[in-house]
Amino acid sequence: MGLALGTAAVVLIVLLWELAQPTLKRVLERARGLWSERRRGGVLSGYDPGRERRAEQRARALLRSCVEERDWEMYRDLGFLRVWGGVGEHGRGADAPYAYLIYPHKPIVAYMCATGELLNEYCVAFPDESKPYGSARLPDSDDVLAKWMALSADERRLVGEANMHLPGRQVDPDRVRRDLARLERWEREHARVPVRESSPQASARELPNVRTA
């Protein structure tokens, strides 16, 4: 009896193996094909793990060559740029009633200089459409430079065409307030620009196309 059951089990296993062989062969062939394609793709793309780092180094050098030395030091030390706002009669400079913080790959944040009140986020994107590989995102410093150039060249146009949201949509308001406090300490330590005194005349109405929360 035991011999018969053992023989039947062996026969069943052999039959199952014969039935499964074609399926297993197809699975293995497909896996080999996918692996070969990935290897060929990796060789053809010539991906260099250090490419992104070198691109960011070049972007930082370009940013430094374009902005004022003080602005470069601000970005180097704090990780963002402050751009004074102002159109028409207000002009630009430290007397502007409002300003913007520019972060890499985050919305531009507008705020009131006298009170630190956060006004709006302006979402703009500058993808690198020339990249034949990987992500289309610009290096961090190139993204900051593109926003700085657009804001400095035509503030009203950028504000008008950007996707505008109230504070907190993408950038943590607490982070922005901490960054404003860091910026104030940074300016005190550098002792080049006096700390701004509160101006009761400054209001959100002076910012073009801006809503307050």
Per-residue tens of pLDDT for the chain, all 213 residues: 655 555 555 444 544 445 555 655 554 566 566 555 555 544 445 556 688 889 899 999 999 999 999 999 999 999 999 999 975 545 567 788 999 999 999 999 999 999 999 999 999 888 766 655 545 678 999 999 999 999 988 899 999 999 999 999 999 999 999 999 999 999 999 875 544 544 434 444 344 444 333
213: in domain: no
Total domain count for the chain?
2
Q: Are residues 91 and 154 in the same domain?
A: yes
Q: According to the model, what pLDDT value does residue 32 have? A: 61
Contact 127, 136 (CB under 8 A): yes
Domain membership of residue 211 (yes or no) is no
pLDDT at residue 21, as a whole number: 59
Say whether 135 sits in a helix, a strand or coil: coil
Residue whose tokens read 């004074």: 84
Secondary structure of residue 63 in the 3-state scheme? helix
User: Does the global pTM surpass 0.85?
Assistant: no
Q: Are residues 77 and 133 in the same domain?
A: yes
Q: From CA 191, how far away is CA 174, in angstroms rounded? A: 26
Q: Is residue 21 part of a domain?
A: yes
Whether residue 212 is contained in a domain is answered as no
Q: What is the pLDDT of residue 125?
A: 84
Residues 31 and 70 in one domain: no
Note whether 69 and 104 are same-domain residues: yes
In a domain, 139, yes or no: yes
Same domain, yes or no, for 15 and 110? no
Same domain? For 39 and 60 the reply is no
Range of the domain at 4: 1-45
Instruction: Please check whether residues 39 and 65 belong to one and the same domain.
Output: no
Q: What is the CA radius of gyration of the chain?
A: 29
Quick one: pLDDT at residue 133? Answer: 52
